[in-house]
Amino acid sequence: MARDRGALWKRLGAPNRQVGSVNDPRTQEECGVKWNEKWIYRDPEGEGFDRWVLWNRYDFLGVFRVKPDGTSEPESLAES
């Protein structure tokens, strides 16, 4: 999977919502990682989960499937 911001944006498209930014010094912890920028894709595949892409500055931290009950699991996006 691409770990570059531009490549991921091109692959997944614009998120429905973005929290934080690359220059935001405040961090939060979710899905077991500390992040300062989160891209949220609302149920992108119509399967009942949201997709979150988490970053700490320019460092890619991972893609996660987040279910309505708040549970999450890492997602591996195959190369296309």
Q: Is 54 helix (H, G, I), strand (E, B) or coil?
A: strand
* CA separation, residue 55 to residues 24, 47, 58, 69 (Å): 11, 24, 6, 23
3-state class (DSSP) for residue 52: strand
Tell me: the pLDDT tens digits for 19-41? 999 999 999 999 999 999 999 99
Q: 51-61 pLDDT, tens per residue?
A: 999 999 989 99
Measured between alpha carbons, how far is 2 from 68 in angstroms, rounded to an integer?
A: 27
pLDDT band at 13, cuts 50/70/90? very high
Q: What is the pLDDT of residue 76?
A: 87
Say which residues have a Cβ less than 8 Å from residue 36's Cβ, sequence separation at least 6. Answer: 20, 21, 22, 24, 25, 26, 27, 28, 55, 56, 57
pTM of the model: 0.90
